[in-house]
Structure 1
Amino acid sequence: MKLRIPFVTKQPRVSVIRLTGVIGGAGRVGSGLSDAGTAQLIERAFRRGKPVAVALIVNSPGGSPVQSSLIAARVRRLADECKLPVHAFVEDVAASGGYWLACAADDIWADDSSILGSIGVISAGFGFPEFLSRHGIERRVHTAGGSKSFLDPFRPEKPEDVARLIALQEPIHQAFIAQVKARRGARLAEGADLFTGEVFVGRQAVAVGLADGIGHVVPKLKQLYGDKVQMVLHEQKRPFLRRIGVEAASQAMTAVEDRGHWARFGL
């Protein structure tokens, strides 16, 4: 038996999903973002409690293009199924894959100092052939297949390997561009070359159409849904070992790698 209280109206509810960290595969031991790691919280945010909208708080320097695509596709699929608007709020940075996530929203809001964009693909590494030679170390590699030692960091870089890498990066870049154009459409500034990997700050991003305005999550959601809107936060749980203060060596290595992603944007 349901008890109905007359004259009591239910306040609108907005699910808020926090997407923070470097975007990587499901096997990451750090606190990064992956489709497998965020699937339950995204599903819960859309389906639990009959929300009137979903808000994404994005703070990510990017990472895996595949995981970025999968997470964004899940958000869009649920938005269409549940017929809910999605709003994105950028904190420090939504760059590269982080901007891909922001584009899953129907509108994007940023701080004056937020960094957005970096619509490109990057591959970086180190080369050690002279170091090995100087110390009398011989590198022995035996492959079945001429491309199995592709970009071996212990051998001199080959022009044909670089050309092959660029050929691999180009379709990924084109997929990223297609995603931004599909989601931002006519809001992108005409004549602006936004796909070179350049980043934009706050109002610059608004001016070129990468964001819709300057705004923070609480005041903007109150503006859109009323002062009594209920905001329910959904965020990833930290791995058990991290919660009890245990850091494995692999976690330390992941932390160094993640630090490099953030450092590209001075953070």
Structure 2
Amino acid sequence: MDDKWRESSSEAASEGEGRMESDRAWGLVESLAKGALLEQRRSRRWSNFFKLLTFGWLFFSVAVIYNATSISDVAVSADGSGSHTALVDLDGQIGGGDVDADTVVTGLRSAFEDPGTKAVILRINSPGGSPVQSGYIYDEILRLRDTHKEIPLYAVIMDIGASGGYYIAAAADEIYADKASLVGSIGVISSGFGFVGAMDKLGVSRRTYTSGENKAFLDPFQNVDKDAAVLWQQSLDTIHRQFIDAVKAGRGDRLVDDADIFSGMVWSGEQAKKLGLIDGLGSAGYVAREVVGEEEIVDYTSRLSPLEKFARDFGVGVSATLVEALGGGFQLM
């Protein structure tokens, strides 16, 4: 019986030791698991931190570079006291997010109304854009010139002053550009895509409901309506004629008699001078110093901060891409 008791005690002790070993093993596993989980959390936190840091650095860098791409040939003053040459910048696509007509007009009004302004320079770097906003700025320039007859306005074209950009320039007293500037492109364009053939191959049908027989004539998923296309071309021709009339009114007999001027072709500054599209070659600094005779330049341009400009242009770019893909609207471009 003593032997049985000893054997039973030995088995119990063995079981107890086994449980202790098992508990220690599970404790070790649990400790290792907690440590691994903690390390994983730390690693994730650092990873997220560095991702945010990298994103912030990239965003800041893009914004700085974006803002630094504008080239200035003049040193402007923030003090408008005394006699000076006023400067207003028009930089980018007109009505496409880069240039808002109201902002440009506000700057021009401030420039003309300052008692120290001797002359105004509208510095243009634009491929064109909205004919409506271009026409609005053009008309406002004529009004300001008529109201302030003693203050001349000079347009200075930088890299490009085409289509709507040149439309606006034509309202100035005189136009200047660099010999390599791109000038002109007096025309109107409306473009889009046609997906009818692709839809037929894919077996996809288009269902469009309209009120008005010509409401969907620009729909890229439907066949071209020939009658509507004729009417649309007449609209483009009308706007082109308005553009031509505005250029002729602004340039007068300085234009040479050459029909190619109004063909939509773009010219170098050197060619544009021979055609009478511009009056001379020179920068904003040159015009202020040599033409106006007042070298001090005061900038009246209303500008967004780099981050605001980047965020705005990103949103507008996405919207413009969608509109263009669907084939809507026309532009002086």
Normalising by structure 1, we get a TM-score of 0.83
- Contact 1:206–1:212, Cα closer than 8 Å, also in 2: yes
Matches within 5 A, 1:58-97: 58-83=124-149, 84-97=151-164
C-alpha offsets along residues 132-189 of structure 1, whole Å, 9 cap, x if unaligned?
2223322101222211111211112232232121111111111101100101000001
Deviation (angstroms), 1:66: 1.0
In the alignment, structure 1 residue 14 sits paired with structure 2 residue 14: no
Displacement after TM superposition at 1:239 (Å): 6.8
Alpha-carbon separation, structure 2, partners of 1:135 and 1:251: 32
Q: Contact 2:119/2:292 (CA < 8 Å) preserved in 1?
A: no
Within-5 A mapping of 1:93-172 = 93-172=160-239
- Name which of 212, 221, 224 aligns with 2:291: 224
CA 1:176–1:233: 2 relative to 1, 3 Å: same
Distance in 2 between the 1:133 and 1:240 partners? 47
- Partner residue of 2:315? 250
Query: Displacement, 1:203?
Result: 1.0
Q: Percent identity?
A: 38
Letter in 1 for 2:315: S
Question: Within 2, Cα distance between the matches of 1:131 and 1:51?
Answer: 60
Contact kept in structure 2, 1:34 and 1:71, CA below 8 Å: no
**Distance change >3 Å, CA 220–CA 237, structure 1 → 2:** closer
Partner Cα separation in structure 2 for residue 142 and residue 239 of structure 1 = 44
Greater shift, 165-174 or 217-226, is seen at 217-226
Residue by residue over 1:56-104, the C-alpha shift from the partner in whole angstroms, topping out at 9 and shown as x without a partner, is 1001101111110101111121121122101111001111100011112
Secondary structure of the corresponding residue to residue 37 of structure 1: helix
Shift of 1:43: 1.1
Q: Which moved more, 1:229-238 or 1:101-110?
A: 229-238
- 1:237 and 2:308 are equivalent in the alignment: no
CA RMSD in angstroms comes to 2.6
Distance change (3 Å), C-alpha of 1:247 and 1:117: closer
Larger CA Rg, structure 1 vs 2 = 2
Give CA-to-partner distance per residue, 1:179-216, whole Å, 9 cap, x none: 00101000001245311111110110000000111111
Correspondence for 1:262: none
- Give the secondary-structure state (helix, strand or coil) at the position aligned to 1:90: strand
Q: Deviations over 1:113-136 (max 9, x none)?
A: 101111111101111112222233
Structure 1 regions of 5+ residues with no counterpart? 1-9, 258-264
Unaligned runs of 5+ in 2: 1-80, 323-332
Task: Give the number of aligned pairs.
Answer: 245
Query: In 2, distance between residues paired with 1:246 and 1:98?
Result: 24
Higher helix share: 2
Match for residue 22 of structure 2? none
Q: Give the TM-score normalised by the residue count of structure 2.
A: 0.68
